[in-house]
Amino acid sequence: MSQKRIGYARVSTSEQNLDLQIDALTSAGCKQIRTDTASGGSRSRPGLQDALDLLQEGDTLVVWRLDRLGRSLGHLVDLVAGLERRGVNLRSISDSIDTTSAGGRLIFHIMGSLAEFERNLISERTRAGLTAAQRRGIAVGRRRALTPAQVAHAGLLIDGGESASNVARTLGVGRSTLYRAIEQTGTRLQPMKQRIASKESR
């Protein structure tokens, strides 16, 4: 089993210096260190992603402080829970957290519980919001690609002999989307034979 120590350091702006963190990570035994210059809330962190990609089961991700790792509490909780699932340890030098120890592993379990708690809260809020919207008569779900008027007009064009593909292209949707909309609105199309006869009689 791999037992590498991968270091990760981050500063918020280009004016700040990474030396303090890099020195601490090197002293902690990190042979590979990845860095980012990004604000705390930034989603773009290629250095962090690279560090996560390097980690294998049994490895340890080392940071100077936990606030260098997550862009928010929720993000930090998800990251830590993800490390646990992969069998990767975490060490935060300044916070005295080391999940290779019994006490440190407790952090993983707490973070995992917090992650589940947050997901349950989000799910509960979403369900409550949908229920409240339905009670107010607000339509819930994806918006229809076509309005009823467009569907009715499309049906007339197709009955008049226009191909469904051309009609769908004109409306900016796929043919399957058009047929699905026609079915949902209950619009009835003439049988193919009637369409051909209607076209030939012109």
- Active site members: 12
- Please state, in angstroms and rounded to a whole number, the distance separating the CA atoms of residues 147 and 155: 12
CA quadruple 8, 12, 17, 23: dihedral, nearest 10: -20
- 162 to 56, 172, 186: CA distances (angstroms): 59, 16, 19
| DSSP label at residue 17 | -
**Element (H or E) spanning 35, and its range?**
strand 32-37
> Angle of helix 73-85 relative to helix 102-135, nearest 10 degrees?
120
Give one DSSP letter per residue of 125-151, joined into a string. Answer: HHHHHHHHHHHTT---SPPPSS-HHHH
- 129 to 81, 116, 119, 120, 144: CA distances (angstroms): 28, 20, 15, 14, 21
